[in-house]
Amino acid sequence: MKMTFRWFGQNDPVTLQNIRQIPGMHGIVTALYDVPVGEAWPAASIAALKETIEAAGLRLAVIESVPVHEDIKLGRPSRDRLIENYSQTIRRLGEAGVPVICYNFMPVFDWTRSQLAYVLPDGSTTLTFEDETISRMDPVLGDLSLPGWDSSYTKEEMGQLIDAYADITDEKLFENLAYFLERVIPVAEEAGVVMAIHPDDPPWPIFGLPRIVSNMEQLRRLTEHVDSPANGITFCSGSLGANADNDLLAIIRHFGSKGKLHFAHTRNILRTGPRSFQESAHLSSAGSIDMTAVLGALHETGFEGPLRPDHGRMIWGEQGRPGYGLFDRALGATYLNGIWEAISKTRS
């Protein structure tokens, strides 16, 4: 296992030097944040990013993410041009020696939460998802400024985009994902890059939009449709674990045994209802997920890929990007490294 950490570039208050000082840290998970979605990433920009990270004594371990344009998800005529741009980005990342690309196929919204700063009993703050709160929101009429909402859209553009999905069923969205995979996975194979799709977060429909990457059956279908070592998954314990019906250990063992578990997000959540949860400390006793069992299953399958602590609480008065402060994620990384070391010594 290679411990990694998410970094949002030069404007991130968390610095590369901060990250390097976390014990056991191997590499960085990041992206180019100034390239419009749908455009090919410039080779020079990729090289500069890699050079910056390596100068800090770390490795560029994962690109998270190369966003998939909505026209590809909708199957619009422009998708072939956009897929070629995406393929060009894969080639350039491969040339730069980047081994893993994490991406998602969630319509309109990325990961979604209903509250930014829910105060926990210990005074720390965390992200929450409350189904009742979300059900009262209107993404077209409301002024939304929460994690996962794409603020690049105006209200009118958001309305048009959501309307465009009115006729997109789960099956149609899968067909569009299949079309995308059939074209980019051969490119990834040639480039020496593996593609790791991130599960839907949360793993159920929101605002009536289709969701097709939420459980074992859906993950198996998409990885088997283009059966290639380059077509794999990002295992996210927090995303998949929000649905108690998802057997996390079975998912790890299945995709790990197939060589298709390319990246892991290991975070904890506390389920507070059938479709509600709050993000917790990584500690097993703090949430609903047994992190020792999760890491044990990863170790059992011989997982050697990048793993990172995911969203953390904001603790000790830290300010910054919700979910992405330094302190709690650093504690998470140390905790996860400790579990891994203990498992490794016990099983050696």
Residue 347: band (very low, low, confident or very high) from pLDDT cuts 50, 70, 90: confident
Give the pLDDT confidence score for residue 166 in this predicted structure: 92
Q: Angle of helix 43-55 relative to helix 79-95, nearest 10 degrees?
A: 40
Whether 118 sits among the annotated catalytic residues: the reply is no
Give the pLDDT confidence score for residue 310 in this predicted structure: 93
Task: Name the active-site residue from 102, 103, 200, 236.
Answer: 236
Please tell me the distance from the alpha carbon of residue 309 to that of residue 269, in angstroms, as a whole number. Answer: 12
Whether 310 sits among the annotated catalytic residues: the reply is yes
Query: Domain 2-347: which CATH class?
Result: alpha beta
Please compute the mean of the pLDDT values over residues 185-210 and round it to a whole number: 96
Residue 40: band (very low, low, confident or very high) from pLDDT cuts 50, 70, 90: very high
Please compute the mean of the pLDDT values over residues 214-219 and round it to a whole number: 98
Percent of the chain with pLDDT over 70: 96
Task: Name the active-site residue from 103, 153, 165, 324.
Answer: 324
> Which amino acid does the sequence have at 316?
W
Task: Name the active-site residue from 69, 198, 282, 299.
Answer: 198
pLDDT at 1 over 60: yes
Give the pLDDT confidence score for residue 159 in this predicted structure: 82
pLDDT at 185 over 80: yes
pLDDT at 25 over 60: yes
pLDDT at 295 over 60: yes
Mean pLDDT score of the chain: 94
Q: Which helix (H) or strand (E) holds 27?
A: strand 27-30
Task: Name the active-site residue from 12, 71, 200, 310.
Answer: 310
Whether 324 sits among the annotated catalytic residues: the reply is yes
Task: Name the active-site residue from 265, 282, 299, 335.
Answer: 265
With H, G, I as helix, E, B as strand and everything else as coil, classify residue 118: strand
Select from 111, 106, 92, 109 the least CA-distant residue to 32.
Answer: 92
Cis peptide before 151 (omega within 30 of 0): no
pTM for this model (two decimals): 0.95
Whether 138 sits among the annotated catalytic residues: the reply is no
Please compute the mean of the pLDDT values over residues 64-92 and round it to a whole number: 97
Listing from the earlier edge strand, what are the strands of the sheet with 115-119?
115-119, 125-129, 276-279, 269-273
pLDDT at 234 over 60: yes
pLDDT at 143 over 60: no
Select from 165, 170, 169, 225 the least CA-distant residue to 197.
Answer: 225
Whether 122 sits among the annotated catalytic residues: the reply is no
Please tell me the distance from the alpha carbon of residue 165 to that of residue 100, in angstroms, as a whole number. Answer: 30
pLDDT at 27 over 70: yes
pLDDT at 348 over 80: no
Task: Name the active-site residue from 12, 200, 311, 335.
Answer: 311
47 sits in the region (left: phi over 0; alpha: psi -120 to 50; else beta) called alpha
Query: Do the strands 276-279 and 125-129 form a parallel or antiparallel pair, or are they unpaired?
Result: antiparallel
Could you give the count of Cα atoms lying within 13 Å of 205 in the half-sphere of its Cβ? 11
Query: What tens digit of pLDDT does each residue of 82-135 get?
Result: 999 999 999 999 999 999 999 999 999 888 898 888 999 999 999 999 999 888
Residue 150: band (very low, low, confident or very high) from pLDDT cuts 50, 70, 90: low
Query: What tens digit of pLDDT does each residue of 296-334 get?
Result: 999 999 999 999 999 999 999 999 888 999 999 999 999
Whether 265 sits among the annotated catalytic residues: the reply is yes
Query: What tens digit of pLDDT does each residue of 202-211 get?
Result: 999 998 899 9
